């Protein structure tokens, strides 16, 4: 093999540096927050039963960041709706901190692709909404909302209304609003899917900074391979028809991650594996 060819050979995505191996050993020793066991979901349609998910099992550990990726229609949104308790499983179960999930709850924070802020409330009131609903005193909720808004960099916009904000800012308020309920896990369904490329990059870095600063576990659905790798400790790859786990990848890229890592051997090897699993190339 010539020197030029040798330079193009990627390491295996299964190859982990000592540092990465150590971080996974530490991660797996943490208690599980979310356990998904043999989860299945069927939908009755006029054309018969559609099995959206079949035999999906994986665990998310405390302070872990898990991305879920897969082709359109493989059941990503169905999975997150089951985890949120917005749908009932046809088979299997979901447990949070060892307790079976049977409906929506404040311990699971949700951020969707579409902007879901209350347009009639200002930014601060949007963030205070959940805690107020749970009976937190107004002045306490207001002070806490100020802290969350500082964390997402929106202190100056606390009195603005959602229609005065950009898409990226709205999603930062949505994240602050979800965090204000102090959830055990943040469930995010393509939250940056509607943003332009530059804002999307900024939001990814921002989310990682928040995750670094807060005791937070995240399950993040995306279509975007770079986004999945940049953000996640592990990536759950789903295959379609029926939606099922094709593989769970331990991302071999060390943290803290920089944009420069996008061209590193471990990053490109992971991307190549994702392309093979998702697009068969
Ligand atoms: N309420 C429903 N009734 C009938 N079929 C449904 C329903 N919700 C989802 N499905 C079907 O289940 C499968 C998975 O859908 P889902 O929306 O979870 O996919 P997805 O991976 O989120 O897709 P996308 O990447 O396009 O967002 C699809 O075949 C879809 O048509
Ligand atoms: Mg979806």
Whose Cα sits closest to atom 6 in ligand 1? 43
- Are residue 103 and residue 191 in the same domain, yes or no? yes
Give the strand order in the sheet containing 91-96.
Answer: 48-61, 32-45, 91-96, 99-100
- Are residue 81 and residue 126 in the same domain, yes or no? no
Predicted pLDDT of residue 30: 97
Ligand 1 site, residue 50, Cβ cutoff 6 A: yes
Of 162, 182, 202, which closes a domain? Answer: 182
Say if 3 falls within a structural domain: no
Predicted pLDDT of residue 156: 97
- Are residue 102 and residue 205 in the same domain, yes or no? yes
- Are residue 78 and residue 160 in the same domain, yes or no? no
Identify the CA nearest to 253 among candidates 278, 222, 228.
228
Say if 137 falls within a structural domain: yes
> What does the block give as tokens for 135?
């009976």
Ligand 1 site, residue 75, Cβ cutoff 6 A: yes
Residues of the chain with pLDDT under 50: 1
Of 156, 182, 208, which closes a domain? Answer: 182
Predicted pLDDT of residue 9: 84
C-alpha 180/C-alpha 140 separation (Å) is 11
- Are residue 98 and residue 178 in the same domain, yes or no? no
C-alpha 166/C-alpha 174 separation (Å) is 12
Backbone angles phi, psi at 245, to 5 degrees: -80, 120
Residue 53 Cα to ligand 2 midpoint, Å, equals: 13
Whose Cα sits closest to atom 17 in ligand 1? 77
- Are residue 211 and residue 275 in the same domain, yes or no? yes
Q: State if pTM tops 0.85.
A: yes
- Are residue 246 and residue 198 in the same domain, yes or no? yes
- Are residue 40 and residue 169 in the same domain, yes or no? no
Name the residue of 47, 51, 67, 73 to mutate for ligand 1: max ligand atoms within 8 A of Cβ.
Answer: 73
Q: Which domain holds residue 191?
A: 8-107+183-279
Q: What dihedral angle (degrees, nearest 10) is formed by the CA atoms of 70, 75, 81, 83? A: -70
Say if 245 falls within a structural domain: yes
Residue 238 Cα to ligand 1 midpoint, Å, equals: 13
Identify the CA nearest to 114 among candidates 77, 160, 148.
77
Whose Cα sits closest to atom 3 in ligand 1? 43
Q: Which residues surround ligand 2, an ion (CB under 5 A)?
A: 76-77
Of 147, 166, 182, which closes a domain? Answer: 182
Predicted pLDDT of residue 116: 86
- Are residue 269 and residue 187 in the same domain, yes or no? yes
| CATH label of the domain that carries residue 192 | 3.40.50.300
Residue 268 Cα to ligand 2 midpoint, Å, equals: 25
C-alpha 268/C-alpha 12 separation (Å) is 10
Total of domains in the chain: 2
Whose Cα sits closest to atom 24 in ligand 1? 72
> What's the DSSP call for residue 195?
S
Ligand 1 site, residue 40, Cβ cutoff 6 A: no
- Are residue 54 and residue 172 in the same domain, yes or no? no
Ligand 1 site, residue 45, Cβ cutoff 6 A: yes
Ligand 1 site, residue 200, Cβ cutoff 6 A: no
- Whole-Å CA distances, 39 to 73, 96, 109, 243, 257: 17, 14, 20, 10, 32
C-alpha 45/C-alpha 214 separation (Å) is 42
Contact 193/151 with Cβ under 8 angstroms?
Answer: no
Residue 74 Cα to ligand 1 midpoint, Å, equals: 7
Residue 21 Cα to ligand 2 midpoint, Å, equals: 32
Q: Write out pLDDT tens, residues 160-170.
A: 999 999 999 99
- Are residue 31 and residue 97 in the same domain, yes or no? yes
Say if 161 falls within a structural domain: yes
């Amino acid at each position: 093999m010539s020197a030029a060819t040798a330079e193009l050979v990627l390491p295996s995505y299964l190859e982990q540096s000592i540092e990465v191996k150590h971080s996974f050993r530490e991660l797996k020793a943490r208690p599980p927050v979310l356990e998904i066991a043999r989860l299945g979901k069927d939908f009755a349609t006029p054309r018969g039963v559609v099995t959206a998910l079949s035999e999906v099992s994986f665990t998310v550990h405390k302070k872990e960041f898990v991305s879920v990726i897969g082709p359109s229609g493989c059941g990503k949104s169905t999975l997150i709706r089951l985890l949120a308790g917005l749908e009932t499983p046809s088979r299997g179960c979901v447990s949070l901190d060892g307790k079976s999930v049977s409906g929506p709850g404040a311990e699971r924070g949700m951020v969707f692709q579409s902007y879901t802020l209350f347009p009639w409330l200002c930014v601060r009131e949007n963030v205070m909404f959940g805690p107020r609903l749970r009976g937190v005193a107004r002045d306490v909720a207001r002070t806490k909302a100020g802290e969350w808004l500082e964390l997402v960099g929106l202190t100056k916009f606390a009195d603005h209304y959602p229609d005065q904000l950009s898409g990226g800012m709205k999603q930062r308020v949505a994240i602050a609003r979800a965090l204000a309920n102090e959830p055990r896990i943040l469930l995010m369904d393509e939250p940056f899917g509607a943003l332009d490329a530059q804002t999307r990059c900024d939001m990814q870095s921002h989310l990682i900074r928040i995750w670094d600063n807060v005791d937070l576990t995240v399950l993040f659905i995306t279509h975007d391979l770079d986004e999945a790798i940049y953000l996640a400790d592990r990536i759950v790859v789903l295959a379609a028809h029926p939606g099922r786990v094709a593989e769970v990848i331990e991302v071999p890229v060390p943290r803290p991650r920089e944009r420069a890592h996008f061209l590193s051997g471990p990053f490109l090897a992971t991307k190549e594996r994702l392309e093979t699993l998702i697009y068969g190339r």
